[in-house]
A and B are shown apart, each in its own frame.
Chain A
Amino acid sequence: MLLSLIVFLPLLFALVLAILPKESWIRPAAFGFALIQFAVSLLLFKSFDPATPAVQLAEFFPWVPALGISYLLGIDGISFWLVLLTTFLLPVVVLGSWTAVDKKSRAFHCALFALQTAMLGSFVALDLVLFYVFFELSLVPMYFIIGIWGGQRRVYATMKFFLYTMVGSLLMLLGIIYLMFTARDTLGYMTANVLELYKLKVPFVAGEFLNPQSLLFFVFSLAFAIKVPMFPVHTWLPDAHVEAPTPGSVVLAGVMLKMGTYGFLRFVIPLFPEAAEHYAWVFLFLGAVGIVYGALVAMVQPDMKKLVAYSSVSHMGYVVLGLFAMNSYGVTGAIYQMLNHGVSTGALFLLVGMIYERTHSREIERYGGLAKVMPIYTILFFIVTLSSIAVPMTNGFVGEFLILLGGFQANKAFGSLAVVGVVLGAVYMLWMFKRVFFGEAGPLVKDEHHPLHDVGVREFVVMVPLVILIFWMGLMPEPFLKYTKASVEHFVANKDAYQLTILESPVETGKLTAAAVADQKEKK
C-alpha cells in the first residue's frame, strides 16, 4: 500500500488545507505536510530492492474489468528516483514560495498538493489508462497555478500550454485505445496493463512509414515530445515559464517535463521497439539540435527567466539524446540528467524568483555588479551555474558525460553535434552571470530607494539541500546509480522484446486481468 499512500497522501493534505480554519495556518501546515510527504516517500528505501529490474511494491485492483483497465501501480529503477525527486521538491517549493505567492494562498497550496498526486501517479501507474488519467490530471492544477498566480500574459501562456499538451495527449488516447483492441485480438482479452501490452507485437514494416507500429510510435512520441519539450514543439515552454509564478516554474521544470522523457522510456521505446530502433536517428538528431538550438536562443534572451527556460530546452535535449542512444551510458545518463535538471533548474528558478521579489525585474541589462551587493546570493547562483554547465564534481557533469558518451557511441555525427552544447552551455550561463553579477552596479543594483538585501535565512535554507545534492550527486554518483542499474541493464539488454515482471507477486497480473475479465463474464 506504500505507493498508494505516497500518491494519495498529498490529495488528502490538499483537502485538509482546503478546510483549515485559519488562513495564517496554511503555509506552516503546507510545509509540515510536504515534509511528512517526503518522509513517507523515504520509506521506499526500506522496501525497494535495487538488485532486481522487476516491478516492486505492485498494487492491483480491477477498475473497469470489461475493458481490462485496472488500478495497477508499481515502481522500478526507472521511476524510483523520479518519485523521490517529486516528493523532495515539494517542501523546497512550499518554503521557497513563502512570500512569492501572496494571494489566495489556500487555493494555491491545494493546487500544488493536488498536482503532486497527479505527477506521482503518472510515475507509478503501470496501466495505460490510469497513467493517462494522471497525466492529464496534472494539467488542471498547473493550468490554475499559471492562470491565477501568473504574470501579465498568463492567459495567453496558459492557453498555449493547455492547447499544445492537449493536442498531443488526445492523439495518444487514440493510440491507447488502439493498443487495447490489439490486445483483445492477440491475447484474447482487452487490457491496458502495460506489462501485458509489452508482450504485443504490433505489426511493423521496415522501410514503410505508414504501418501500425510506426504510426503508434509517432503518436505516442508526439504527446511526450510536447511535454519534454523537444525542438520544434518547445515554444509553449518559455511562455509558460515566464508567466508562471516561481513555484509553478520549479514544479514545471523540475518534475512535469520529466513526465515526457519518462514516457519515452517507460512506454514508447519498449512498446514499439522496432519503430524506436528504426527511427532512433530522428530523435538523436532532434535531441542534438534541441541542445544546440536551445542554447543559442537562450544566449540572446534579455530576460533571465526566459534564458533559464530555454536552457531547459537544451538540457532536455540531452535527455532525449541519451534515451535514444539506447545503450547503458545514454540511458543511465538520461535518467541522471532528469534528476540533475530537476535539482539545478529548479534551483535556478528559485534564485531568479528571489531576485525578482526584490526588484520586480528580470531584465539582465538592468543588473550588473550584484556580486558586491549580495555575495552569498552570488555564491549560491554560481554553484548552481556550475551544475547547469556541467562542471565536473557537480551532478551535471555525470549526466552530461554519460549521455554524450552514449550518444557518440550510438551515432558519431549527432553525438559530436551535441558536444557543441558543452561550449554553448558555458556561453549563455557565464554571459548572463557576467552581466548580472560583475562589472559596475546597474540601475537596479544601485537604486538607493530600494537597497538590496542578501539572501535571508529562509531563502538560504531553501537552497542548502539543493546545493548539497549538486555536490553529492557529482562526487558520489554510485549510491544514486545503484538504484537504476538493474533496470537500465535489463532495458538495454532486452530492448527488442522488453518484458517486466512483478516481484514476488503470487499471481501474474496478466492472469489477474484475465481472471477479472472471466469473472465479469460469469456475472453476466
Chain B
Amino acid sequence: MASSKAEFLFAILILAPLLGFLANGLRWKSKNYMLAGSIATAAAGTSFIAALAIVMRLFGEGAPKAVTADFFQWISIAGLEVPVSFVIDHISALMVLVVTGVGTLIHLFSIGYMSHDERPTKYFAYLNLFLFNMLLLILGENLVLMFVGWEGVGLCSYLLIGFWFTDKEKAAAGMKAFVTNRIGDAGFLLGMFMLFVTFGSLGFSEIISKVAGLAAETGWTGPITLAALFLFVGATGKSAQIPLYVWLPDAMAGPTPVSALIHAATMVTAGVYMIVRLSPLFILAPNAMMVIAIIGAATAVLAATIGLTQFDIKKVLAYSTVSQLGYMFLACGVGAFGAAMFHLVTHAFFKALMFLGSGSVIHGMHEEQDIRKMGGLAKYMPLTYLTFFVGWIAIIGLPPFAGFFSKDEILWFAFSSPHGSVWLWLAGFVGAACTAFYMTRLMALTFWGKPRFDEHHTHPHEAGPSMTIPLVVLAILSAVGGFMGIPHVIGEILPGHPGNWLEHWLHGFIAVPAGETHGSAVMEWILMGLSVSIAGLSAITAYFFYVKEPSVVERVKNRMGRLHTLVYNKYFVDEIYFAKIIDPIVNGSKALWAFVDVNFIDRATFVAGDLVKGIGSTARTLQSGNLQQYALFIALGVVGFLAFLFELRASLGKLLMQAFGG
C-alpha cells in the first residue's frame, strides 16, 4: 500500500504540469491570461505539494534513503532495460523542491507579466510543458529518462526563446539555443553509450553500484574518463559553459520570467545536477575532473568580465548566470559536489529573484532594457528595489545572505580539496571581484542616481501582487537560504553550534574525494576574510564610479581602449564561431552538393550512359532489314541464351577460379 501511494504521489507530481499543458494547449487561441495562468500555476503548485509530500518521507528515524516509483517498461531489448521509474533521494529532493517551488512562483509572476500578451495561453502551455520535462530530467532513475527530459527542456527553451517568432532575431536565438544544446546532447549520447558498453546498464543506482570500489583511472582514454568527458560535453551545452555558452545570452530574447525559470534557476543547472548525480563515477576520472574544474573556473572569470561592460539589464544577468554556473562546475571539478549543489540552490533563489526583478523593471519601464536609460528607480519601484537589493547582497557574497555561504564553500574547496589548487581559488577570487563590481554597477545604473529617462513620458510603476509576491518570497529565501550550509568554522563560534545541515543531508549520496585536504581553520578564516573584503571593495569602487563620479568611467574606458572594445564585444566569440566554423560548414556543404553530387557522381553516371548509347548506335547498323540475317541473330541469341543459362554457373565458377586463384 505504501509503495502504491508513492506511485500515486509521483503520478500527481509529474502529470499535473502535463495536464496543465494539455488543458492550455488544446485551447491555445484563448486570450484569457487569467484563466490560462491560473491553470498553469495551479498545476505547478500541485506538483510542489506532491513533491513536498514525498520529500517529507525522507525525514525522521528509520526513513528510507529514497522513495521510488516504477511505472512501466519503456524499452526492453536484449539487456537494455529502460523502465519508466522515478526516484527522490536526498539529491533529487533538493532539486525537485527548487524546481517546483521556484517554478510555481515564476508561473505566478507570469500571470501579471504576460497580461498584455497576444497569446498568453500558449505561453503558459509551454511553461507547464517545460516543468513536466524538467521533472523527468530530475526524477528519472536512468540516464535515458534523464535524456528524455534533457532534450524536452531544450525543446521548451527553444519554443519560449522564440516565443515572439515574428521577430527574426528572436527566432534565430531560439534556433541557436537548440542547436548549441544539441551539440551537447550528442556528447551526452556518446557518454551514455560508453557507460552502457562498459557497465551494461544505464540505471543510476546500477552504474553507481558497479563503479563502487573501482580504482581511479589515471590516463585519458579509460572508459570512465571518456564517459565522464562526453557527459561533461553534454553539461557544457545545457549549462552554458565554454565553449558552448554562447546561446545563453541570446536566449534572453524570450519573455523575462522564462529567463528566470529556464535560463537561470532550473534548466541551465541540469548539467551540474547530472554530474552530482553521477559523482561516484566522475570521482574515478581525475583527469576529467581536472578538465571540469578548469573549464568551470575559466567560464566563471570570462563571463564575469563580459558582464562588466554590458548595458542590457538581462544580458548582465545572463552573463552573471554563465559565470555562477562556472562556479558550480569548479566545485564539481574539485570534488566538492555538495558545495555545487548548495550553490545551485542558493543561485536559484537569488538569480530567479533578480531576473524577476528585472522583469518588474522592464514591465514598469514599458519594455525598456537598456540600463543607460534608467537610473533612480528606487524611488518609483520601492518593493522591486528592496528585493533586488537583497539579491544583490546575496550574489556578491556578503554575509549572512545566501550567496556568501555557498560561494565561500566553493572557494574554500577550490583551495583545500585534494583536487584543488591555489590557481583555481584565485580564478574564483577574481570572478568574485568582478561579480561584485558588475552587480553594483547594475544596481547603480538601474536604481540609484538620477533618472536618465524622460519622466514626463515614462512613469515607472510597481506591478500588481501576482508579480510582487514572488519577489518577496524569493527575497526571503535569498536572505536566509544560506543557513542550510553553515561552515564548521562559523558554526563553532555561533551560539548553539549549528552544524552544516546540507553536508549532513547529502552525506552518503555524493562522492567525497580521497586524499589529503590542505589548509587549516585559520586559513579558512583568512580566505573568507579576503573574499568578503574584495567583494566589499569592488562594490564600493563600483558605487564610486557609477554614482559619485561617472566621469571616471569614461576616463577608464578611454584608457582601456582596445581591451574595452574586446570585452564589450564579448571577445568576438560569436563572430569567430561564424567565420571559422559555421560559414565554412555551410559553404563546404554547398560545395559538396555542387561538386560531388551534381558534377561528379551524376557526370560519371552520364558518361557511363553515353558509353551504353555509343554501343547502342553501333548495334543499330546491324539492323539491315535482311531477314536471313535476323534469323541468324535470333538463332545465335537462343543458342547463346541456353548456353548462358546452363553453363553460366560452371563457367562463372571456372572463370573465377582461374582468374583469381580462389
When distances are taken between beta carbons in the complex, the residues of chain B under 8 Å from A516 are none
27 contacts between A and B (CB under 8 A): A163-B609, A181-B650, A210-B659, A211-B660, A297-B593, A299-B586, A300-B590, A328-B77, A328-B78, A328-B80, A371-B166, A391-B151, A392-B147, A397-B148, A401-B189, A405-B192, A405-B196, A408-B197, A409-B193, A423-B179, A423-B182, A438-B165, A439-B167, A439-B168, A440-B166, A478-B75, A481-B75
Cα(A391)–Cα(B155), bound, Å: 8
With A408-B197, A427-B179, A477-B74 already in contact, the answer to whether A160 and B605 are too (CB < 8 A) is yes
Assess whether A401 is in contact with B144, with CB atoms less than 8 Å apart: yes
Is B43 engaged at the interface, CB distance under 8 Å to the other chain? no
With A177-B648, A416-B190, A481-B77 already in contact, the answer to whether A438 and B166 are too (CB < 8 A) is yes
Cα(A431)–Cα(B585), bound, Å: 14
Assess whether A329 is in contact with B168, with CB atoms less than 8 Å apart: no
Is B399 engaged at the interface, CB distance under 8 Å to the other chain? no
Is B73 engaged at the interface, CB distance under 8 Å to the other chain? yes
Contact with B171, one of A177, A332, A439, A489 (Cβ below 8 angstroms) = A439
When distances are taken between beta carbons in the complex, the residues of chain B under 8 Å from A182 are 649
With A235-B601, A300-B593, A392-B147 already in contact, the answer to whether A415 and B660 are too (CB < 8 A) is no
Task: Give residues of chain B (622-648) contacting chain A, Cβ–Cβ below 8 Å.
Answer: 645, 648
Binding site for A on B (CB under 8 A): 73-80, 144, 147-148, 151-152, 155, 158, 162, 165-168, 171-172, 174-175, 178-179, 182-183, 185-186, 189-190, 192-194, 196-197, 585-586, 588-590, 592-593, 596-598, 601-602, 605, 609, 645, 648-650, 652-653, 656, 659-660, 662
Assess whether A300 is in contact with B589, with CB atoms less than 8 Å apart: yes
Assess whether B656 is in contact with A423, with CB atoms less than 8 Å apart: no
Assess whether A434 is in contact with B171, with CB atoms less than 8 Å apart: yes
Cα(A253)–Cα(B258), bound, Å: 39
Assess whether B179 is in contact with A177, with CB atoms less than 8 Å apart: no
When distances are taken between beta carbons in the complex, the residues of chain A under 8 Å from B652 are 178
Most central of B78, B152, B155 by chain A CB within 10 Å: B78
With both chains docked as a complex, state the minimum distance between the C-beta of B525 and any C-beta of chain A, in angstroms.
Answer: 48
A to B contact number (C-beta, < 8 Å): 157
User: What mask results when residues 166 to 208 of chain A are scored 1 for a CB within 8 Å of chain B, else 0?
Assistant: 0000000010011011101100000000000000000101001
Query: Could you list 7 further interchain pairs (A-B, Cβ under 8 angstroms) beyond the known A210-B662, A405-B193?
Result: A184-B649, A232-B596, A328-B80, A392-B147, A422-B185, A477-B75, A489-B78
With both chains docked as a complex, state the minimum distance between the C-beta of B55 and any C-beta of chain A, in angstroms.
Answer: 26
Assess whether A297 is in contact with B168, with CB atoms less than 8 Å apart: no
Cα(A396)–Cα(B374), bound, Å: 49
Is A402 engaged at the interface, CB distance under 8 Å to the other chain? yes
Assess whether B186 is in contact with A430, with CB atoms less than 8 Å apart: no
Cα(A403)–Cα(B165), bound, Å: 34
Residue of A nearest to B189 (CB): A419
Cα(A185)–Cα(B652), bound, Å: 14
With A297-B597, A329-B77, A371-B165 already in contact, the answer to whether A212 and B589 are too (CB < 8 A) is no
Contact with B175, one of A404, A431, A489 (Cβ below 8 angstroms) = A431
Residue of B nearest to A402 (CB): B77
Assess whether A430 is in contact with B175, with CB atoms less than 8 Å apart: yes
Contact with B186, one of A328, A332, A422 (Cβ below 8 angstroms) = A422
With A178-B652, A205-B662 already in contact, the answer to whether A430 and B78 are too (CB < 8 A) is no
Most central of A164, A405, A481 by chain B CB within 10 Å: A405
Cα(A174)–Cα(B186), bound, Å: 43
Most central of A208, A235, A402 by chain B CB within 10 Å: A235
Assess whether A392 is in contact with B151, with CB atoms less than 8 Å apart: yes
Residue of A nearest to B78 (CB): A328
Assess whether B605 is in contact with A434, with CB atoms less than 8 Å apart: no
Assess whether B656 is in contact with A215, with CB atoms less than 8 Å apart: yes
Assess whether A438 is in contact with B660, with CB atoms less than 8 Å apart: no
User: What mask results when residues 295 to 337 of chain A are scored 1 for a CB within 8 Å of chain B, else 0?
Assistant: 0110111000000000000000000000000011100100000
Is A293 engaged at the interface, CB distance under 8 Å to the other chain? yes
Give 5 nearest A-B pairs by CB, closest first. A181-B649, A438-B171, A328-B78, A392-B148, A210-B660
